[in-house]
Amino acid sequence: MTDTHDQRHQEWTQAIEADTEAVAPALHLDHGTTTPAAAGGTPWRTVVESMVFPLFFAVMFALCYVSAFHSPTPRDVEVVVVGPETATSALVDRLAPTVGDKFALETATDAAGALDRLQNREIAGVIELGSTMNLHIASAEGTMRVQAVEGLAQPLAAAQGVDLNLVDHAPLAADDPTGTGLFYLVMVCTIVGYLTITVLSQVAPRMRLRQQLSVLGVMAVVGVLAAYLVSAIFVGFYGASFATSLAMLAVVIAYTIIVGLVSILVNRVFGKAAIMVVMVLMIFVNFPSAGGAFPADFLPGFWSMLSHFWIGAGAVDAVRSIIYFGSTGVGHGLLVLAGWFVVTAVLLGLTQLRKSDADADASPAPQHAVS
């Protein structure tokens, strides 16, 4: 009996030791020895490597935001001077050497045609000569733009001894005097789009594309509505009608979904480095070039060029057209968004096909019964 008991005790001991050896690597155990981290030490290599992320933030914010916003200067801001041809031509000829490339001055004799161009968002202002100088502007294009055009017209009115009358054809909402409310809405919805996919990649890395798209669609609607309603506490609804607000929200929801699609694509292509790539595309490049903080024609050349086709600029341009210009000129912004959607969808489809082929190659060959 004693021999049997001793034998069983020995078997149990051997089994426990075998289990301990199997678990030890996962727990970083080595038969009584401990790693510095387990002993309460600091894993300095991990700490140093993790500091790359905050340094990346510091460098990219300084590189992108400071380079874009450090010296806002008008560049080829289009202004039309309306009046008798001899008077306007002489005035523009006299101004041209002093304004340099800050303004692109044109002359016209037809005030109605020039105002149509202003309302169609083709030009920044119209200076109408007369016994009272009328300065026609659109505040919704940005207060900085208005100030620049007003700064051009005031000395002209003073030199001619006439009063300057400001006529605003697209005034900003009373609760949003700086005109940045829509820009901040687009910023928040950008974060909703890419954070939704970033979180999914962490908590459900094997989630199917169809499921990701379902979650993204729901979050785009819920996130945009939440951001819009909360911001309305402070800036109101921009004086827009219900139908206009719905049209604007539809564009912002579509934009949020496109941001999410870009994030899915980047996650598939770049893997663990995806979060940094997405942030470069959607935070560090997207916001400075959007034309929301400063008008695009006040940005340095590189950033001004990006504003013609980058996704955030397309969204800001479209919602601004819908809210303040009766959807005039909305086509450009929608075309930018559509271009991003098509390109991203095609590339995402190609990655999906490649993934399907890889899964098929990795699947085991069927086993055939041997008779």
CB 81 within 8 A of CB 105: yes
Name residues whose C-beta falls within 8 Å of residue 290's C-beta, 6 or more positions apart in sequence. Answer: 183, 186, 307, 310, 312, 313, 315, 316
| 81, β-bridge pairs | 107, 127
Q: Pick the residue with more confidence: 114 or 357?
A: 114
361 confidence band (pLDDT: 50, 70, 90)? low
Indicate if the pLDDT at residue 2 is higher than 90.
no
Q: Say if residue 358 is exposed, middle or buried (CB neighbours under 10 Å; 0-12, 13-18, 19+).
A: exposed
CATH of domain 77-168: 3.40.190
Is the alpha carbon torsion for 189, 192, 195, 196 positive or negative?
negative
CB 364 within 8 A of CB 280: no
Q: Name the residue type at position 147.
A: Q
Segment 229-252 mean pLDDT: 96
For residue 7, what pLDDT is reported?
A: 53
For residue 6, what pLDDT is reported?
A: 54
Residues 259 and 265: their CA atoms lie apart, in Å, by 10
Give me the DSSP letters along 205-246. Answer: TT--HHHHHHHHHHHHHHHHHHHHHHHHHHHTTTT--HHHHH
Residues 157 and 130: their CA atoms lie apart, in Å, by 10
Segment 57-70 mean pLDDT: 92
Q: Where are the domains of the chain?
A: 77-168, 181-353
104 confidence band (pLDDT: 50, 70, 90)? very high
Q: Name the residue type at position 80.
A: V
Residues 108 and 113: their CA atoms lie apart, in Å, by 8
Average pLDDT in the chain: 87
Residues 213 and 211: their CA atoms lie apart, in Å, by 5
Indicate if the pLDDT at residue 22 is higher than 70.
no
Residues 330 and 120: their CA atoms lie apart, in Å, by 10
Pick from 101, 160, 111, 163: which is nearest to 133 by CA? 163
Residues 351 and 362: their CA atoms lie apart, in Å, by 16
Phi-psi region of 291 (alpha: psi -120 to 50; beta: other; left: phi over 0): left
Phi, psi of 127 (to 5 degrees): -100, 115
CB 264 within 8 A of CB 271: no
Pick from 313, 310, 201: which is nearest to 260 by CA? 201
Pick from 285, 341, 290: which is nearest to 320 by CA? 290
Segment 229-237 mean pLDDT: 95
Residues 296 and 288: their CA atoms lie apart, in Å, by 9
* Strand, helix or coil for residue 78: strand
Indicate if the pLDDT at residue 26 is higher than 50.
no
Indicate if the pLDDT at residue 244 is higher than 70.
yes
